Chain A
C-alpha cells in the first residue's frame, strides 16, 4: 500500500513538472499574452518554434522517466535485498535505448540546422529585399558604439556617422552588422529580434537581422528595444545597455543626414532663457 502511495506521489510530481514546462505558455496564450517578448525580427518565430519543439521532446522524455521511476518504486521497492532480478545482454533493450535517444538527438540536430539556415535567410530579408544597411558595431567596456557609412555607403570616408548607445535602424530593411570588440568578449543581444552573438576581440563577427514591419506595427511600434551585453564583461557589465531605435526609412535618412552634418558644423548655441518663467 505504502509503495503504491509513493509511486503515485512520484507520478504526481512528474505530471506537475511536465505540466509546468508546457502550461505557462498555454495559459498566457489563452490570456492573450505571451511567454516571450514580441517577435520583431524576421525569423524570430523560427527561434521560438525551435524552442517549443525541443521543449516538447524534453517534457515527453522527462514524463517517460517519471513513469519508469514510479513503476520501479511500485514494483521494486518492497523486495528485500538480494531479491532483485538480474538481467544482462538483452540485445533488444540495448538497441532500444541506443536508437531512441540517438534518433531524438539526430532529429533535433537536423531541425536546428534547418532552422539556423532558414533564420539566416529570413534575417537577410528573404528574396527581393533591398540592399542591406551595413553598420560597424564596437563593443567596449562598457558601451556600444556604432559607425554608419553615411550617404556615400562607404566606410572610412568623411561622411561616416558615429553613435554611442543609440543604434537607429530602419524598419523592414535588412541590416548587416560587423561587430568587433576593443577589449574583452561582449555579446550582442536583442531579445525581441531573437538575436544573440558573441563579439570576440581580434575578429569581425557578422550578424544580420531585419525588423519585420508588420510585426513592429502590430506590437505598437516600439521606439526603443534594449540591446544588452549578454556576456559578463567586467564590473560595468550591468550598465552596458544600448538602445536599438527602429524607425521608418525616411526618419533614418533624416537622422543620418543630420548626424553627418553635425560633424562639420557645430551645434547652434542654445538661446538664453530670459523670456521664460
Chain B
C-alpha cells in the first residue's frame, strides 16, 4: 500500500509536465464562418461595412446549408413541390448505382442481415442482439433508435407495428409483410445520412482536404500536388465537357481508382453506399463553397448583401450541378488495338506538333513536358511558370513517363484531350479537331511511354 501515494505523485507529475509543455494538438475547427478569401474580397470591394457583410453572408450560408455539424439543405419551393431533398440522395441514384449500394450493404452488414434473417426464420418474438462490427457503428445506432421496440421485444416480429410508415401500404398489398421484413430492408437498402458521410469524410479525407474541404488539411500542406480545394466545384479528372460539374458516377469512379502519381489513394474498399455518401458530402462542400463565392461576387457588384442575390446564387450553383449529367462526355468509338497502326500514331504526332492542337507548345516537341508556352513573366520581371487557378506553378505532364493522373486508358486520355483539365492551363481541344484526330493524338501520347513488350514503364 505504501506504493500508492508515490504512484499518484508520479502520475500527477507526468500529467503536469504534459500540460505545462504547451503542446496543443492541431485540432480542425468546424464553423460556418465565411472564408478568408470572402473577407478579403469584401474588404477590397466597395462594400459598406465589410465585416457586417461577411457576417450576413455567413448567416445566409447557415440558413441554406445548416452548420457543418448539422448539415442539410434549405429546400426551395420547387423542390418541396417535387418532394426532392438533395440531402437524401438515395432517390437520385441510378438503378445501377442503387443495386451496387444494395450489394455493398449485403457484404458490409452481412452479420446484421444474417441475424435478422435467422430471427425471422425461427419465428422469434423479438430481434436478438445484433452483432456490432466496427464499421456498423452509426448505422447500428440509427437502426436501434428506429427499431427499439422490436429489438426490446415490445413488438412482435411477426406483426406489423401500427406506427410503421409502410404498415398501411404493406397490409394492403401484401398481408404477409412483417416488421421483421422491414428491419431486413433497413440493412439491405441502408444509405448514409449527410451527417454520417461528413463523419466518414472527417476520418478518411480531412487529413489532406481539410475540415471544410478547402484543401488545407494538416497533411495536405506538405503535398505536391496540393489536395483539391473542394469548395470551388472545379475538378480536374471529370467525365464531362469542359468547365462542367462532375457527374455522381464519375466522382464515385474517381474515388474508387484514386489519382495515380499523387497522394490521393484509391478508396475501392469502401462500400458503394459509403462512396455515394462521400460524393454527397463532396457536393455539399462544393455547392456551399460556390454559393459563398457567387454571393460574395454579387455583394461586391451590388455594394451590399441582398437576400435575393444569395438566393439567386444558390439557385445558379444548383443549376450547374443538376445539369452535370446532361454534359456527360460520351466517348465515340476509336480504333481497336489492331487498328492502331503506325500511320495513326504518325498522324497523332503531326497534330501534336501542329498549330491546331498545339500540344507541343506546353508538353514539348517530344512530350517531355518542357514546352516554352508554360513560361511567363512574373510581377518582378522574372521568368516563372504560369500558375493554375489555385496559384500553383504549372507542370505539364511528361508524357514519356507513362503516369497519367486522370487514368492511363485510351478513354481516359480521350477525355483529357477533349475536355481539358479544369482549373489548369490545359485547355479543351479545339472544336475543329475531329474524333479521329483526337484518337490519333491519344495513341501518339500512349506510344510515347510504351516500350514495346518490355515490362518496366
Contact = CB atoms under 8 A, between A and B. Distances in A.
Interface of A: 136, 140-143, 145, 152, 154-159, 162, 164-166, 178, 180, 204, 235-236, 239, 241, 243, 262-267, 269-273, 276-277
Interface residues of B, number: 47
A273 B219 CA distance: 39
Interface string B431-457: 000000000000100100011111111
B266 interface: yes
Interface of B: 91-98, 219, 239, 249, 253, 256-258, 260, 263, 265-266, 268-269, 325, 328-331, 333-334, 336-337, 340, 408-412, 415, 443, 446, 450-457
Contacts of B266: 143, 164-165
Given A157-B453, A159-B337, A270-B96, A241 B411 contact: no
A156 B452 contact: yes
A162 B409 contact: yes
A263 B412 CA distance: 8
A194 to B, nearest CB: 23
A276 B263 CA distance: 38
Name A's interface SS: loop
B95 A269 contact: no
Nearest to B455: A155
A273 B411 contact: no
A263 B411 contact: yes
Given A157-B450, A204-B456, A266 B97 contact: no
Given A157-B453, A236-B265, A276 B409 contact: no
Contact of A264 (B95, B98, B219, B336): B336
A264 B443 CA distance: 11
Contacts of A141: 263
B265 A143 contact: yes
A239 B205 CA distance: 13
Contacts of B454: 155-156
B409 A262 contact: yes
Contact of B95 (A157, A235, A271): A271
Contacts of A265: 331, 333, 411
B220 to A, nearest CB: 12
Contacts of A145: 260
A243 B455 CA distance: 23
A266 B263 contact: no
B455 A136 contact: yes
Nearest to A151: B337
Contacts of A136: 455
Contacts of A178: 455
A3 to B, nearest CB: 29
B111 to A, nearest CB: 16
Contact of A271 (B96, B256, B456): B96
Contact of A155 (B92, B260, B453): B453
Contacts of B269: 165, 241, 243
Contacts of A271: 94-96
A250 to B, nearest CB: 21
A204 B455 contact: yes
A263 B407 CA distance: 10
A137 B142 CA distance: 41
A266 B239 contact: yes
Nearest to A158: B337
**4 closest pairs, A vs B, by CB?**
A270-B94, A263-B409, A266-B331, A158-B337
